[in-house]
Amino acid sequence: MHAIATLDDLWMGRPRSIATALLESDGHRAIVDPGPGSTLETLRQQLHVHGFSVSDLDAILLTHIHLDHAGATGALVRENPRLAVYVHKLGAPHMIDPSKLLASAARLWPNDLKRLFGETLPMPAHNLHILEGGETITLGARKIEVVYTPGHASHHVSYFESVQNVAFVGDTAGVRIEGHSYVMPATPPPDIDLGIWDSSFAAILERKPARLFLTHFGFSENPPEHIARFRDRLHCWAAITEKIIRTAKSDSAAMESFLSTMRGEISEHLPAEEVEHYVFSAGLNLSFLGLARYLRKRAQAAS
């Protein structure tokens, strides 16, 4: 048995916003990106649908430590203290002590942090398996190659599994809800970098995965086409943002201009009922903040 299942965490009651992948192989079970603390009960229910509980899991593979991907990890380790948690070395300290991560998130969601993400608990260091990229994780008969894929976050890795040739790419390949062709950036602060993001695209394509698995949301069947589209849109959004911050009269006017421009673009590509869904899943206002920060830092370095 070498199944890969999509578990829908129903974030904020919305289907197809956050996906957790369940990997089984020869009686070994792992999940990729368990989601936030606020969806923990849904995750338990989704596991139950497949005949498992948290105590049946052997490992959690984190693509990165943003709360919508990793926030539930500490609670899961409390429930199952034998869980191995795989995470990049730059993210590991924040899993042991999430206080800085939570303080940073509170600046972005000053009023909604608990409602959106629930509780984020610390976890013991001895459960952590520290990654840098280049490692191979064995899950039953399945070999999983770890590749360092920064750009969206400095602590981002992707996982390439050997049996079905699926790449679990977290947010490195953007937001594309299964069933639609439109793919949009998620570029929150503080450490997006389009230059190194391009090298992460190359690292993914080099391994020729048959499919991508995106945390937001599900499988994408044509990785070269998907990544080409996403790369173009990412650089296009950066160019639009650069123009906006150069010409807007204030930060709030720049934000408004970005949101209306991007909503317009999204509306051209998607049915009306999906526009809000994409905007919510990707955090459109945060994408502006991340791109603006990156562009200002780049301009500062150049001068």
DSSP lists the bridge partners of residue 25 as: 28
For the record, the structure tokens of 92 come out as 């590991």
Neighbours of 264 (CB within 10 A): 10
pLDDT band at 117 (very low <50, low <70, confident <90, very high): very high
Among 140-144, 230-234, 238-242, 273-277, whose mean pLDDT is lowest?
A: 273-277
Question: To the nearest whole percent, how much of the chain has pLDDT over 90?
Answer: 92
Longest alpha-carbon distance in the chain: 60
Rounded Cα gap, residues 215 and 33, in angstroms: 7
Phi, psi of 28 (to 5 degrees): -100, 140
**What pairing do the DSSP bridges indicate for beta strands 211-214 and 166-170?**
parallel
Q: How far apart are CA 124 and CA 34, in angstroms?
A: 17
Query: Which DSSP category does 270 fall into?
Result: S
- The dihedral region occupied by 27, where left means phi > 0, alpha psi between -120 and 50, and beta the remainder, is left
- The Cβ of residue 111 has, within 10 Å, a number of other Cβ atoms equal to 8
Q: Is the pLDDT of residue 179 over 90?
A: no
pLDDT recorded at residue 154: 97
pLDDT category at 273 given cuts 50, 70, 90 is confident
Question: Which two three-digit tokens encode residue 104?
Answer: 């940073």
What angle, rounded to 10 degrees, do the helices at 272-282 and 251-269 form? 130
Q: What structural domains and CATH numbers belong to the chain?
A: 4-223 (3.60.15.10), 233-302 (no CATH)
8-state DSSP, 105? H
pLDDT value of residue 1: 64
Cα dist from 295 to 242, 252, 288, whole Å: 7, 17, 11
pLDDT digits (tens, 9 = 90+) for 82-114: 999 999 999 999 999 999 999 999 999 999 999
Strands 84-88 and 59-61: parallel
Edge-first strand listing for the sheet containing 211-214: 136-139, 142-148, 157-161, 166-170, 211-214, 218-220
pLDDT mean over 124-136: 98
Q: What's the mean pLDDT in 187-207?
A: 96
Across 82-127, the runs of DSSP E, i.e. the strands, are: 84-88
Residue 282 — very low, low, confident or very high, per pLDDT cuts 50/70/90?
confident
Q: What is the pLDDT of residues 10-64, one digit of tens each?
A: 999 999 999 999 999 999 999 999 999 999 999 999 999 999 999 999 999 999 9
